[in-house]
Amino acid sequence: MLVFHGSHLGLVIKTGFVTGIISLTEGIAVGRTFAALKDYRVDGNKEMMAIGLMNIVGSFTSCYVTTGAFSRSAVNHNAGAKTAVSNIVMSITVMVTLLFLMPLFEYTPNLVLGAIIVTAVIGLVDVPAAINIWRTDKFDFVVMLTAFFGVLFISVQEGLAIAVGVSIFKILLQVTRPRTVVLGSIPGSDIYRNLHHYKDAVEVPGFLIISIEAPINFANSMYLNERILRWVEEYEEKENAKKHSINIQYVILDMSAVSGIDTTGVTLIKELKKAIEKKGMELVLVNPLGEIIEKLQRAAETRDFMRPENLYLTVGEAVTSLSSSMKIHPPTTYDEEAQAAVPHPN
């Protein structure tokens, strides 16, 4: 009989849930490791279904939780196994050993068993790959070290769990602090690129061009609001420090890389528009996707963005069109003195 009550039911459910996640993570990680060594592909969905079906069938006979263990997979790999038939042979061998040969292994030191596993695993340590990860992404290298030392000094489950936790933290960091860059014009072309990456890129007088390279949602809307307005203030101060320069009149948001937006993101656009208009500037959107345009149309507060002068397909088109209607800045003291110095005809 199945009993769904008792003092240990909650503990059993929690333990089963955690064990399932860890075994699934370990199985897929081990599968991808050997797939990289043998140059074949691993389908994560099929792995999940296989592990789930395997444990469902095993549960009818009180079988231990099964997954693709790293140590046994390494030994199997070094033994020269090529197909899944090796698992059948290994299962039969283990069953015969447990039933008839256990007295022969009764006094075998654990050191011998550990030496077998260590010998098999050493061949899987890829130092050049670790160096390549360090050169490519320092944060990924930290995740790799976390998984390596966690598995080495704690256990496979805890090591992988810590590494997965660090990876999730990285993802959350990328979601809450999306990449935003200021674009500049490449002279002699209609191309706009990151000012910090391209030495030839120059600022366009009267324009602040910002590219958002992530979806806009509740997790990052406040950060984007503060970041964009801070850039506006910094560029205002920079332009005010120059005596003969055109003040910023248009803030262009390049939304080509924004794949989605939620209600909080729509509110962000509305608040940015109000804040920028208070500074005597206009907010312009460039190349928003169809889903974003539909949500802006549905929101009553942002319908003004559907006007032709607020929507453009490319940054170059927006700059060219808006430059013709740009307001000329009032004459400065320098201009008045220069005009007074010019002799007037009698």
pLDDT tens digits, one per residue of 251-283:
888 888 888 888 888 888 888 888 888 888 888
With respect to residue 339, please indicate whether it lies within any of the assigned structural domains.
no
Q: Does residue 53 belong to any structural domain of this protein? A: no
Stretch among 1-5, 125-129, 134-138, 324-328 having the lowest mean pLDDT: 324-328
Establish if 187 belongs to a structural domain: yes
Name which of 19-23, 197-201, 286-290, 336-340 the model is least confident about. 336-340
265 close to 221: Cβ distance less than 8 angstroms:
yes
Global pTM exceeds 0.85:
no
Residue 277 phi, psi dihedral angles, 5° rounding: -65, -30
How many domains in the chain?
1
Q: Distance between CA atoms of 172 and 104, rounded to whole angstroms?
A: 53
312 assigned to some structural domain:
yes
Residue 163 counted as domain residue = no
Indicate the SS3 state at residue 342.
coil
Residue type, 92: I
Cα separation, 304 vs 288, in Å, equals: 15
For residue 114, being part of any structural domain is answered with: no
Residue 232 lies in a domain: yes
CA distance readout (Å), 133 to 137, 139, 145, 209: 6, 9, 11, 33
Q: Is the pLDDT of residue 222 over 80?
A: yes
Which single residue is written with the structure tokens 């940054």? 315
**188 part of a folded domain:** yes
pLDDT in tens, 142-190: 888 888 888 888 877 778 788 888 888 888 888 888 888 888 888 888 8
Q: What does the alpha-carbon distance between residue 5 and residue 170 come to, in Å, rounded to a whole number?
A: 40
pLDDT attached to residue 29: 78
* Structural domain span for residue 216: 180-325
Residue 279: the pLDDT is 85
Interval 20-35: pLDDT, tens:
777 787 788 788 878 8
Instruction: Say whether pLDDT at 338 is over 60.
Output: no
The CATH number linked to 190 is 3.30.750.24
* pLDDT level of residue 244 (50, 70, 90 thresholds): low
Q: Which residues sit opposite 180 in a β-bridge?
A: 212
Confidence at 327, pLDDT banded by 50, 70, 90: low
pLDDT at 177: 86
